[in-house]
Amino acid sequence: MADELVAVADDLAKKLLECQVASVTSLIKAGQILREYQSQLPHGDMTAIYNSGRLPLGQRYGQMLSAIAANRALCDPVVIRNVPHAITALAVLSPVHPSVIEIGVAERTLHRGLTRQGVVAAVRKLRTQALHTSQPSAARLL
């Protein structure tokens, strides 16, 4: 590829990544809003709202967004830039301790190129490393 075309491709990639990050950030914001509403409603009312069909998403998708939004690391734009943007992949990361996610990003065990299955394998690897580390605090991150 010609040098000028490489520059165009790099510029385009940068702009598209920004769009992806903004999109995922908006979905995380939606998850935060769902969590806020759910915390204010009596038990069972959120299910009734989902079942009413008045929301632009289903209950399972809303639950995934809420779980993702509950993880501090997944609300960090720096982390979001460096992990897969698929909601299913982020849902796999949602129960993982934020520090483990941050370590995975720093070590590049977690990166944008992973599929959902790749994220599952990366999390398994990170948890195994935490179990075998000499730092007792690492085991608490599981």
* Chain segment 82-124, per-residue pLDDT in tens: 999 999 999 999 999 999 999 999 999 999 999 999 999 999 9
Q: How far apart are the first and last CA of the chain?
A: 45
Domains: count for the chain: 1
- The Cα–Cα gap between 123 and 31 comes to 22
* Burial of 70 from C-beta contacts in 10 A (0-12 / 13-18 / 19+): middle
Rounded Cα–Cα distance for residues 121 and 127 (Å): 10
At 14, is the pLDDT very low, low, confident or very high (cuts 50, 70, 90)? very high
CA 61 to centroid of chain Cα atoms: 13
